[in-house]
A and B are shown apart, each in its own frame.
Chain A
Amino acid sequence: MFSIRRLLGQRDSASVAKNRLQLVLSKDRIQISDAELKSMKEELYRVISHYFTVTPDNLEIEVLTRDGRAALSVNTPVEFPAR
């Protein structure tokens, strides 16, 4: 059986679930409070903006786990300053 919703171009709820989980777990796994996460973001933003032009809202922080090891990943689009 296939979903008529998918034929109509709507996203199936299973992939919505998967995407939402991946996002929420990347935050859960950091295991720091929402307030700490916010202040870490602010500090990182301050440091990075010494070197690049960045927007605080675009700063993404995730913890990726693979083979039982975790890695902190900080992702942001940057603009090179005009020199």
Chain B
Amino acid sequence: MSQSIVITSGKGGVGKTTTTANLSTALANTGSSVVAVDADIGLRNLDLLMGLENRIVFNLVDVVKGRCTARQAMIKDKRSPNLFLLPTSQVDDKNAVSPEEMGGLVEELRKGFDYIIIDCPAGIEQGFRNAIAGADRAVVVTTPEVSAVRDADRIIGMLQHHDVPSQLIVNRLSMKMVESGEMMSQEDVVDILAVDLLGVIPEDSEVVVSGNQGVPVVLDTSSEAGAAYSRICRRILGESVPFPDFAEKRGFLTRLFRR
């Protein structure tokens, strides 16, 4: 049975595309067949993070408009034989495609793949409705900041309204700041949003380095962010992976002073 998962957030720049590239790569490396779909029409980025920007011929809008087949538009990953990217158009806008068309595309992709991972644009408009149209479930990405959490709450409500169950990733957590009381912890965020936690990604400069190189950070499991993404991948596969959650690193004094 194939599964379609939309990676969404509400607020922009919190790590959706990074998460899409990493989870797609990690899932493909476990042997599943995966297609990563860039649904951020007009702001093409997923190809860059996967290092496939020089191979694009056709895109998602071409497929939906019948100008080519999905097979023709998909690009095979450089490293993993089971991983494909369906890039988006850089010249069209979000209204170039309707939710019905996106739903149909996802249905078609189900025939060829175990996992369809959809990178959603920021916002709550048509681009969001397109991206969730064919999704079985959603991964909501937030950072532990007030604006991102507020927007995540709105998105979780909208997903509920569309009967799409959601799970949460807290990205860019700095344990040091949590310990000094200057950043909300993952428990705080989960408490506020009342949603199931799928994983926590620490703030990690390796994410920027991997973006520079077009090599997803999950391929470097010695990096903290890479290890966190591979734990999340195993949770998606149904394994129950304990949350190391950096919390046990908390010192005695912190525990003493934390209410």
Residues of A within 8 A of B (CB): 1-3, 5-7, 12-15, 17-18, 20-22, 24-25, 28-29, 31, 65-66, 68
Given contacts A6-B181, A28-B154, contact A17 B146 (CB under 8 A): yes
Taking the nearest CB of chain B, how far is it from the CB of A9, in angstroms? Answer: 12
Assess whether B203 is interfacial by the CB under 8 Å rule: no
Pick from B157, B192, B253, B254: contact of A22, CB under 8 Å: B192
Q: Which residues of A contact B176 (CB under 8 A)?
A: 1
**CA of A18 to CA of B188 in the docked complex: distance in angstroms?**
7
Taking the nearest CB of chain B, how far is it from the CB of A70, in angstroms? Answer: 9
Pick from B153, B180, B253: contact of A25, CB under 8 Å: B153
Size of the B side of the interface (Cβ < 8 Å), in residues, is: 28
Chain B 137-168 interface 0/1 with A at a Cβ cutoff of 8 Å (1 = within): 00000000110011001100100100000000
**What is the count of residue pairs linking A and B with beta-carbon distances less than 8 angstroms?**
64
Taking the nearest CB of chain A, how far is it from the CB of B212, in angstroms? Answer: 31
Pick from B150, B160, B183: contact of A68, CB under 8 Å: B160
Are B149 and A14 within 8 A (Cβ)? no
User: What are 22 A-B residue pairs whose CB atoms fall within 8 Å in the complex?
Assistant: A1-B180, A1-B253, A1-B254, A2-B179, A2-B254, A2-B256, A2-B257, A6-B257, A7-B257, A12-B180, A12-B181, A13-B181, A14-B178, A14-B181, A17-B146, A17-B184, A18-B192, A21-B192, A22-B192, A25-B153, A28-B153, A31-B157
Taking the nearest CB of chain A, how far is it from the CB of B170, in angstroms? Answer: 13
Q: Which residues of B contact A22 (CB under 8 A)?
A: 192
Are A3 and B153 within 8 A (Cβ)? no
Q: Which residues of A contact B180 (CB under 8 A)?
A: 1-3, 12
**CA of A82 to CA of B188 in the docked complex: distance in angstroms?**
44
Are A25 and B192 within 8 A (Cβ)? yes
Are A18 and B253 within 8 A (Cβ)? no
Taking the nearest CB of chain A, how far is it from the CB of B187, in angstroms? Answer: 10
Taking the nearest CB of chain B, how far is it from the CB of A76, in angstroms? Answer: 24
**CA of A5 to CA of B177 in the docked complex: distance in angstroms?**
13
Interface residues of B in 98-147 (CB under 8 A from A): 145-146
Taking the nearest CB of chain A, how far is it from the CB of B138, in angstroms? Answer: 14
Q: Which residues of B contact A29 (CB under 8 A)?
A: 153, 157
Closest to B151 in A: A28
